[in-house]
Amino acid sequence: MSLLAPASSKRVLSDLRELRKLTEDARGAQRVAWGPAWRKARDWFVKKAEKEAGLKVTRDSAGNLWATLPGKTKTSVIVGSHLDSVPGGGWLDGCLGVMAGLEVMRRYAALGEPPPVTLHLVDWADEEGARFGRSLMGSAASAGTLNAKAELSHLTDRAGVKLPDALNENGIRLDQMKKAHREFLALRAAAYLELHIEQGPVLESMKKDVGVVLGTMGVERHQLRFSGQAAHSGAAPLHLRQDAFLAAAAFAIACRELGVALSGKTPRTRVVATCGVVKVEPNFVTAVPGAAEISIDMRALDARVLAKMLAGAKRAAAIAARKYRVSVSMSPLITITPRIFDPTLTGFVKQSVKAAAGSAPELPSGPLHDASEMAGVVPTAMVFAQSSPGISHTRIENSPEPALDRAIRAFLGAVDRTVQHVAQR
Amino acid sequence: MSLLAPASSKRVLSDLRELRKLTEDARGAQRVAWGPAWRKARDWFVKKAEKEAGLKVTRDSAGNLWATLPGKTKTSVIVGSHLDSVPGGGWLDGCLGVMAGLEVMRRYAALGEPPPVTLHLVDWADEEGARFGRSLMGSAASAGTLNAKAELSHLTDRAGVKLPDALNENGIRLDQMKKAHREFLALRAAAYLELHIEQGPVLESMKKDVGVVLGTMGVERHQLRFSGQAAHSGAAPLHLRQDAFLAAAAFAIACRELGVALSGKTPRTRVVATCGVVKVEPNFVTAVPGAAEISIDMRALDARVLAKMLAGAKRAAAIAARKYRVSVSMSPLITITPRIFDPTLTGFVKQSVKAAAGSAPELPSGPLHDASEMAGVVPTAMVFAQSSPGISHTRIENSPEPALDRAIRAFLGAVDRTVQHVAQR
């Protein structure tokens, strides 16, 4: 391995800037999966992979792109992320990991001999789910957790286009998507590594450029409806009201307090709880709300803590309903189990983050990633680059260049360690 | 006055049922001001007034209908309310007072000689403001508190029809509306009396059929905007958030507590506070709300208490904003001073409510009424009939027949006492 060129972020950053120019308009990145800007980004990527690393690029039955560098053994290490973006997204979300993966391939291709293991660079299809609402579509298909027919056939975008038609337009057949799992198993993958921006403010607040991702948090997402009695704001005395909004308000505050109480002091043990959707009826200035709908999205890395949060939220809903003399119903929207990343690979990530950035802070990911799907079928690890501002899904998403440089070098180092480890098994 | 027929609710109830059939559909009463069902109701009313009481009916410059029974003196007593309803409204809101007023006229017309004072029965135009948003339009014009040009000329309904055009369609000219005040002054009114349903649950909760209205509460109505930072529900740790909705929720709960703290134990000293409109942005399940808009509507009969509430709400907004690290702005929507009714007339109402119903519970009105406008320009009093269920602005609005019977007889008695009092001055 001593022949490998030193890890450098130079070409990755230059590629990212080129892609930005190619697929961004005044409102931000427009690489929405299954659309023209996304196809343009992928064509550019395929040409680059073929020309600069001599890779063969194929597409699987779910639309994921695989660029392969055959090694001395068929056992493989996979690197990658996603080129697709939300509408008006940023220049790093997803493509940072794909372009860093291309740098992996370029370095190993330059060795002049096959690498010790086969290397695959994947560009997952439709990670964001921005157009049809189903995120992690390509990686779930590969992991075998997507029931394409049941989950996808009824989905439409805002313009009324059906997802199966959008897939057809891209040469993908919905009824063939389940093949992607078998195709994935044939890759004999021993490891999956992904670099991504944090999309949150944790590393920035710790003044750290690079983070070791412990896993992705489990999610309990539910919709609640508090039902009381609408009444005239002047005519109904406070003690005779059944104000559904006040119950929803008390619930939201209780969930926040619950999250604070169940959080530990480290990023690893922190949990989050969010009421993002709120709707009251009849929504008049002179009407006591007779009904209030509110969503709760709870996340934790520890499944037992997540279960405690859910139980606590249910209690909080019942207490709030009783206090304001209303009824409440709660229906699940989505439940996702926590995905803890592989300890051995995470150890490699830790070493290389420390080498590149001086220290190796650990944190879970609140957002899901393609790595969440991979963690179910292959040893997986992730590296986070600091986001600053600590937001994403907007054109002002950014990471300072020194953070990107260290994160890319840390990722390249982690891949090197992983390749060596897999080759020596 | 001994020649007056005994007070009876019989014809009033029969008239109300007739009007209901004439102007109700499956969703409820549809007598929305300036529309066809409202005109139909008014035509029916005018014919009845002419035929059954021999009254001359005229329309003033603001569209109010005046049915007059000339008395021995030009000094007059006014009775009335409004025939217009909200869309899908009930069978009593407004028209109870107009039809009870017609019974006043029928009884005095049957005397066979002019009553001791002139009697006017008024059907106010557009009390509800249901179509264009400006309530008490006709009575405010008569009271001289309407600035028609500034307040009305820009208003449109949901279909885009301009209020001035809707007025024209009904033969009313916006630039002539200010004449209504002079026309009102020419009536030489000495008293205004109105019967209305309570529209709330207070009398029902006290098991009382009829109530003496002390006045209409003052209103402080404001719109608040809490501004924080939208963020990903998974990526943003609780302690780094600026959740605008949590601040709005804490504000709403604080205002409720403020209302409870400032309320006395009697209906007279109770205050109300309502957050009726709530809107969060971006309103996604996976987004921490970056902004939240919320309305507050506070009411009290005592102006000093109302001022305390407003100060308390401002403090509560600042405290909530600080707690959740967001900013807040508060802009006034409407401020209405409390209107305390005339003590002499209210004394007559008290006597006659006691005579008709056994006891005379006193309560303020939270909702505004045409009587609120009249109280500024003429001694005014009001009678409430119990609502059961204690709601209005819905087709299921109702009052039990015994309550209506006692309330109508109490009202007729209060008018008799007032007429005698005015005649003897």
Q: Grade residue B98 by pLDDT with cuts at 50, 70 and 90.
A: very high
> What percent of chain A shows pLDDT beyond 90?
97
Work out the average pLDDT over B286-307. 97
pLDDT over 70 at A345, yes or no: yes
Could you please report the per-residue DSSP string of B408-424? Answer: HHHHHHHHHHHHHHHHH
User: Looking at chain A from residue 152 to 171, which residues have their Cβ under 8 Å from any Cβ of chain B?
Assistant: none
* Residues whose CB falls within 8 Å of the CB of residue A275, separated by 6 or more in sequence, listed in order: A248, A251, A252, A255, A294, A295, A296, A297, B245, B246, B289
Looking at residue A1, its pLDDT comes to 46
Q: Please return the burial class of B36, using the count of CB atoms within 10 Å of its CB with bins 0-12, 13-18 and 19+.
A: exposed
Looking at residue B425, its pLDDT comes to 85
Answer whether A381's CB lies under 8 Å from A414's CB.
Answer: yes
Cα separation, A282 vs A285, in Å, equals 9
Residues in chain A within 8 Å Cβ distance of B199? 232, 235
Work out the average pLDDT over A103-128. 97
pLDDT digits 0-9 by tens, B113-167:
999 999 999 999 999 999 998 999 999 999 999 999 999 999 999 999 999 999 9
Helix (H, G, I), strand (E, B) or coil at A76: strand
H or E segment to which residue A326 belongs: none
CATH number of A10-215+339-423: 3.40.630.10
- The overall average pLDDT reported for chain B is 96
Is B295 in CB contact (< 8 Å) with chain A?
yes
Helix (H, G, I), strand (E, B) or coil at B321: helix
Domain ranges of chain B: 10-215+339-423, 218-336
Look at the domain B218-336 and name its fold: Alpha-Beta Plaits (3.30.70)
Looking at residue B1, its pLDDT comes to 45
Q: Please return the burial class of B311, using the count of CB atoms within 10 Å of its CB with bins 0-12, 13-18 and 19+.
A: exposed
pLDDT digits 0-9 by tens, A267-283:
999 999 999 999 999 99
Identity of the residue numbered A404: L
pLDDT over 80 at A262, yes or no: yes
Work out the average pLDDT over B36-55. 97
- Going by C-alpha positions, the residue among B62, B221, B65 that lies closest to residue B145 is B62
> What percent of chain A shows pLDDT beyond 70?
100
* Residues whose CB falls within 8 Å of the CB of residue A139, separated by 6 or more in sequence, listed in order: A64, A124, A127, A370, A372, A373, A374
Looking at residue B192, its pLDDT comes to 98
Answer whether A63's CB lies under 8 Å from A172's CB.
Answer: yes
What ipTM describes this predicted complex? 0.90
Q: Please return the burial class of B171, using the count of CB atoms within 10 Å of its CB with bins 0-12, 13-18 and 19+.
A: exposed
Answer whether A216's CB lies under 8 Å from A277's CB.
Answer: no
> Residue A216's closest chain B neighbor by CA?
B234
Residues in chain B within 8 Å Cβ distance of A204? none
Tallying the residues shown for chain A, one arrives at 425
Cα separation, B142 vs B163, in Å, equals 18
> Residue A258's closest chain B neighbor by CA?
B238
Looking at residue B296, its pLDDT comes to 97
pLDDT over 60 at A21, yes or no: yes
Cα separation, B171 vs A20, in Å, equals 63
Q: Grade residue A42 by pLDDT with cuts at 50, 70 and 90.
A: very high
Helix (H, G, I), strand (E, B) or coil at A330: strand
**Helix B401-424, helix B343-357: angle, nearest 10:** 140
Phi-psi region of B162 (alpha: psi -120 to 50; beta: other; left: phi over 0): beta
> What percent of chain B shows pLDDT beyond 90?
97
Query: Which phi and psi angles does B250 have, rounded to 5°?
Result: -65, -35
> Residue A263's closest chain B neighbor by CA?
B238
pLDDT digits 0-9 by tens, B172-186:
999 999 999 999 999
User: Looking at chain B from residue 246 to 285, which residues have their Cβ under 8 Å from any Cβ of chain A?
Assistant: 246, 248-250, 252-253, 256, 259-260, 263, 267, 270, 272-280, 283-285
Q: Which member of A205, A234, A390 has the closest CB to residue B217?
A: A234
Answer whether B302's CB lies under 8 Å from A302's CB.
Answer: no
Looking at residue B403, its pLDDT comes to 98
> Residue A384's closest chain B neighbor by CA?
B235
Answer whether B384's CB lies under 8 Å from B363's CB.
Answer: yes
pLDDT digits 0-9 by tens, B218-257:
999 999 999 999 999 999 999 999 999 999 999 999 999 9
Tallying the residues shown for chain B, one arrives at 425
Work out the average pLDDT over B81-92. 96
Looking at residue A29, its pLDDT comes to 95
Is A242 in CB contact (< 8 Å) with chain B?
no
pLDDT digits 0-9 by tens, B46-67:
999 999 999 999 999 999 999 9
Tell which of B206, B222, B224, B278 to mutate to test the A interface (max A CBs under 10 Å): B278
pLDDT over 70 at A2, yes or no: no
Is B361 in CB contact (< 8 Å) with chain A?
no
> Residue B237's closest chain A neighbor by CA?
A272
pLDDT digits 0-9 by tens, A60-94:
999 999 999 999 999 999 999 999 999 999 999 99
pLDDT over 90 at A425, yes or no: no
- The pTM score is 0.90
pLDDT over 80 at A119, yes or no: yes
